[in-house]
A and B are shown apart, each in its own frame.
Chain A
Amino acid sequence: SIATSAASGAELQREQHARSVLRETFLRCLLSMNNKKVRFHMHGKVKVEATFGASDIDVLNFQVSDLHTPIGVQKEALIRSQDVISFTVDE
């Protein structure tokens, strides 16, 4: 009926709006991390520090610099998001 399709249309708009607010805020958070020191907590209790560069939009990879690995510093690196549990910036 017209009533239900209008209701579902409004519901769709609510969901679209919620999704775009969440996404925009997330992208802004990632942008705010640019050039900051981040600590990555990875699978297997691996913890490393690096300077955050950028992420691809599908959040599959993080591009970082000065990555402090257990065996030395890697000047430029890509970290797979699948390897990551969380990462933190302290201000």
Chain B
Amino acid sequence: MPEGNAAPQVARILRHGGYETRAMLRNGEQLVLAVVLPVMALFGLAFTGLLDGVADRRIDAAVPGVLALCVMSTAFTGQGIATGFDRRYGVLRFLSTTPLGRAGLVFGKAIAVVAVLAVQLVVVGGTALALGWQPQPSGILLGLFLLLLGAAAFTALGLWVAGTVRPEATLAITNLVWVLLAAVGGILIPGTRLPAPMQPAVELLPSGALGDGLRAALIEGRLDGAALAILLVWSLLAGFAATRWFKWN
């Protein structure tokens, strides 16, 4: 038997993806980060003049940034912290001795990120539609693709942090970075609205690129090539770093 007593690989990965998704959704703090804060941000931006001029209507200007924030919450902060503590408790070591293996673990986590992201998309997108959100139809598919690419980049970044420092440090770093990038990382507020000296740096951040790319797609139905390229580079760099330096124990 080529697989011995192992269940088929796809079944193992899907099963672990489901398991990780339930674990993430059961975690209260994670839900606050994943759903409550983005919805609060959505209301904040939709009912204030912070983004006036970015799009014709405030809600249309707000939603792309909030979706980008969802990606960062789930893929980077939430998943990074969970992985950091899994590493501390030896969970990664144990599961990597089962037929799931290390690759299966990472794929399972990626599935969980996408699944939680889907839940966020439904909640945030649904709320936004109720508030009158009208995304540019021609940009919706591109927007979904950018969300997935952003999830890949931030998952890799989260795994890189979680796999190299202590879980307490992962907790501190990913939360701090989340707050910083949410505030001045070009996610909710476009880089062009930030002080001029910061702008070039912000555009090169994965957060800035994801925010800009999503705004171009969902507001104008346009592909922002620079943002796409920057996100791709971040995914590859962080993916390489995580693979290279991840310590399993």
A binds B: no
B contact set with A: CB distance below 8 Å: none
